[in-house]
A and B are shown apart, each in its own frame.
Chain A
């Protein structure tokens, strides 16, 4: 049905629920996260995006529901095996202790390298390639705390790439980044999905970035899936009003003809 589906392995969620403090923050979510595609998880604050990402990454276990990777039960595998498949880029992480970019990226080899031996030749090659892909080679020996927000985000991305993931999960990867850094970060993961068949899943706040970079969007609201599908079809003014409570206008960009969404506070019908 979908062209290119099956290029890489896929993750499939069925009736997935996550309960935190007695409340279902992710509530019976169905989703198909296809290899070679960028899937954006959208939704207002508190919609359950981060909680869903953590379960998909295999960090937290769901309260109920089924999650499978390449047809296999995701939580039947060990944590280490999951870390060889899925890499997670969290938002706003920092290290308390001094760490160079290369050391941080080398952490990505943790699930692959043997416990006692040092990094192998192949580990070093993968680390170098990951740094090159993410464009952080030039500050390999700088302290990660001295980098700008965009540079640091790329360093974290390089760490995730060093895991050689088949599934790359990003929790609000464009947070606190300037416009250029937002675009380069997403263009980079977009390219990784297309080139390497990686299933990329990103929780995003910016709907226009989702329109530009995602093949597929899943709209969450209070933990439930409100809509899913191609961004241009899903993100209608009606849905945006219902989920985000803002009035949206979909415009067409002059040259490319691609849609662009603008937002206003909704007009009150009874002032």
Chain B
């Protein structure tokens, strides 16, 4: 009777892991210049010193310098955002929660844009981390002032912080807009992976490994929050400490993601819900599967963003919103049947 469940999760994990590898390989071949699968492997092989005949410098540059880092960044950012969203939904007990709704992305964007304008882009990840943390602190402070830190107050406070962050970001843009930097910042706010090179891969992958994986492992405790804080406390969980650790973790993860990709919406909202519909709400399974599917989702969204209107390129946030919004409405309508 219950033996039906673990294989289902195992099958889902293996399928998604294989799909991720296939997606990375396939996405690299797609673009204005035709690149074949064997050329992708030749490029990777020669750079890893495997004694493979290298490609011509031009074609190798397209694979190794442009497409591979971009696809890897998309995968890491997708995974990070999906983990952040899943954790936040559990900890706030709000199906609508994600880093964007609680104002973290807005804060991270503000930090990033401020640093860009000041011309010290070395500090980009640190500024985005800091922005996300400040936004989180502001959200919690407003939500917690004078009463208990309830999920609904947290969401409302997040909306306020998010609006303020967006307004300040817009102000910075307005004040400093001169031609090219304006366009760059705009694509930042809508989310774009166009500028992703190996340093971006390093930042995004490091954030997923250093923050995302511990969150995934520690996230198992989130199951106990299913029926609220009292219930979690009665199950022996230190509610306040868990909430702080988890929220600061998601703030750091979100900061890392925003610093390389800008504010890409809907990944943290849609994928955890989609995975829950298939394997249920147990975080042991949910978090890794959400991470894998988030990676695949963002790879294909970004591939669509750069290939759909070739030679013009869309900010990837537009693609995720166009796909994500209807899916979200559908999820909302489905979930009401069970509410």
Contact = CB atoms under 8 A, between A and B. Distances in A.
Contacts of B235: 83, 107-108, 110-111, 163
Given A97-B95, A107-B224, A88 B89 contact: no
A145 B339 contact: yes
Interface stretch (A24-32, A98-106, A179-187, A244-252): A98-106
A116 B223 CA distance: 13
Nearest to A94: B227
B95 A110 contact: no
Interface stretch (B42-50, B244-252, B280-288): B280-288
Contact of A90 (B95, B226, B231, B280): B231
B150 interface: no
A41 interface: no
Nearest to B282: A103
B94 A96 contact: yes
A220 interface: no
Contacts of B280: 98-100, 103
A25 to B, nearest CB: 15
Given A59-B234, A93-B231, A111-B235, A140 B281 contact: no
A56 to B, nearest CB: 11
B233 A79 contact: yes
Contacts of B220: 115-116
Contact of B93 (A79, A81, A96, A124): A96
B276 interface: yes
B13 to A, nearest CB: 14
A59 B233 contact: yes
A57 interface: yes
Interface in A94-141: 94-100, 102-104, 107-108, 110-111, 115-116, 118, 124, 140-141
Contacts of A256: none
Contact of A93 (B89, B94, B227): B227
Contacts of A90: 227-228, 230-231, 234
Interface residues of B, number: 32
Contacts of A158: none
A156 B89 CA distance: 22
Interface residues of A, number: 41
Interface in B202-242: 217, 220-221, 223-224, 226-228, 230-231, 233-238
Contact of A97 (B2, B226, B236): B226
A84 interface: yes
Contacts of B276: 97-98
A80 interface: yes
B281 A88 contact: no
Nearest to B227: A93
A212 interface: no
Contacts of A100: 280
Contact of A115 (B221, B226, B231, B339): B221
A140 B5 CA distance: 12
Given A57-B234, A87-B234, A103-B281, A140 B1 contact: yes
A82 interface: yes
B221 A111 contact: no
A153 to B, nearest CB: 13
B96 to A, nearest CB: 10
Contacts of A99: 226, 280-281
Interface string A55-90: 001110000000000000000001111111011101
B338 interface: yes
Given A107-B223, A116-B217, A124-B2, A96 B231 contact: no
A116 B213 CA distance: 13
B281 A98 contact: yes
Interface string A179-212: 0000000000000000000000000000000000
B128 interface: no
A141 to B, nearest CB: 8
8 contacts: A54-B230, A80-B236, A82-B236, A90-B231, A93-B231, A97-B95, A97-B276, A143-B338
Given A97-B281, A116-B220, 4 more contacts: A83-B234, A84-B236, A108-B235, A115-B220
Please provide the 10 A-B residue pairs with the shortest distance between their CB atoms, ordered closest to farther.
Answer: A83-B236, A111-B236, A80-B236, A88-B234, A110-B235, A97-B281, A59-B233, A93-B227, A145-B338, A95-B226
